[in-house]
Amino acid sequence: MHLPFIEHLATGIFTLAVLHTFLIKAFEHIAFRFPAGSIHRDFFHLIGEVEIVFGLWAGILMIVITLSAGSATALQYLDGLDFTEPAFVFAIMTVSATRPILDFARNFIETISRVLPIAREVGFYFTALVIGPLLGSLITEPAAMTVTALILRDRFFKRHPSNAFMYATLAVLFVNVSIGGVLTPFAAPPVLMVAKTWNWDLQHMVSQFGWKAILATLINASAATLVFFRELQNFDRVSHQLALRSEAAVAKPATPYWIRGIHLFFLALIVLTSHFPAAFVGFFLFFLGFTGITKEYQDELKLRESLLVGFFLAGLVVLGGFQSWWLAPLIGKLDAGTLFVGTTFLTAFTDNAALTYLGSKIPEVTETFKYALVSGAVAGGGLTVIANAPNPAGFSILRDSFGPEGINPLKLFVWALLPTLVAMTCFWVLA
């Protein structure tokens, strides 16, 4: 669909949506000025939810298109969009957040961390920030983000660490997940968008991107561990023991290995059919049935949280569809070095998968161009909540740990700069 007036209007609305993400804290403050339960308070609470932002503005855009070009044009545009990724993220996030999957991941990380010759909490923290994101290359980035964020929340964020610890951990998590999925051609959304077009296979990803991503992940996790080494060692052990006793008093039965195995089987089926919504939605529905008959070993499914993240991404798809008129020419005119840096920081304001998708539509580009585009897109994937598709999942899981004001997008951006520069250095200097 090429309607210049609507394209420019859509870019204006997209800009407002990006600005909205930086104002959610202000809307939360306004909400508390009104009585509890009032329409005004609930309204400002609603628009203060970051997961609502892009879906809300996408709805406004569709109303504008309907009024200016007719409902047929609006429906034609929607029908031409691909909502596979939002649907997949909803399904994979719900499955990944179940107790059997978390028990498996937690035990796996615990086992590896015990091998390290350092204090238990220090080793677990380091291992979680390395192994969790790198698992994204197998189970996809949204699943890795969900599992790792939940593990970090339960192990560290619930123990009231410093604000600096929480922002640094969140920043490293976002950056490491963004780069941790590039060992395979199917797990990271920015890679997925171009792998088929450019014939990138497993060997290409490992040789060109994978080992550099592993190095950057290790450096980022090591730096965070060293900076907060004292805090990790000095967590209040008494309060931790009390928390453990409290949890043990209300603990549900341990999940049997056969239930964990079936959960992993469904997770694998959904990952393997991630390009086929009719298939993975069907498997997901079967999975819901299985959790119903094994509810003794289940926590409440995170359907609401997963739906909100899916809504966020769907809104991004709707708004992003009209941005090619300025993004594609901009990307196409840049030399490799400028493209790498430009893509890294453009990613902060638009989904990195959208950038690589637009780049894949430019004909006859060099291998250097391809590398610069994708490496820049994944390196910048931790700068903001909208930079990488899995980020809203981690944001949603960890937000409440930051208190009533939630996560400040500007602080997240600042804390993410250093791990982003580490990723940029590994990808570009070692290219």
Type of residue found at 192: L
pTM: 0.83
Alpha-carbon span 133 to 274, nearest angstrom? 19
> Is the pLDDT confidence value at 261 over 90?
yes
pLDDT of res. 369: 92
Q: Would you place residue 246 in the very low, low, confident or very high pLDDT band (cuts 50, 70, 90)?
A: very low
* pLDDT reading at 168 higher than 90: yes
What is the pLDDT averaged over residues 250-262? 83
pLDDT of 242: 47
Name the band, by pLDDT with cuts 50, 70 and 90, for residue 248: very low
End-to-end CA distance of the chain: 38
Q: Is pLDDT larger for residue 137 or for residue 49?
A: 137
Question: Mean pLDDT in the chain?
Answer: 89
**CA distances in angstroms from 230 to 22, 226, 242, 339, 425, listed in the order given:** 32, 8, 21, 40, 28
Q: pLDDT tens-digit profile of 388-422?
A: 888 988 999 999 999 877 889 899 999 999 999 99
Q: How far apart are CA 213 and CA 185, in angstroms?
A: 14
Does 244 score more than 90 pLDDT?
Answer: no
Q: Taking residues 327-347, report their average pLDDT.
A: 86
Give residue-wise pLDDT tens across range 285-303: 999 999 999 999 999 998 9
Give the mean model confidence (pLDDT) for residues 138-167: 92
Asked if 174 and 336 count as a contact pair (C-beta separation under 8 A), the reply is no
Residue with tokens 């995170």: 302
Task: Say what the pLDDT of residue 368 is.
Answer: 93
Predicted local confidence at residue 251, as pLDDT = 56
Q: For 249-362, where are the E strands, in sequence order?
A: none
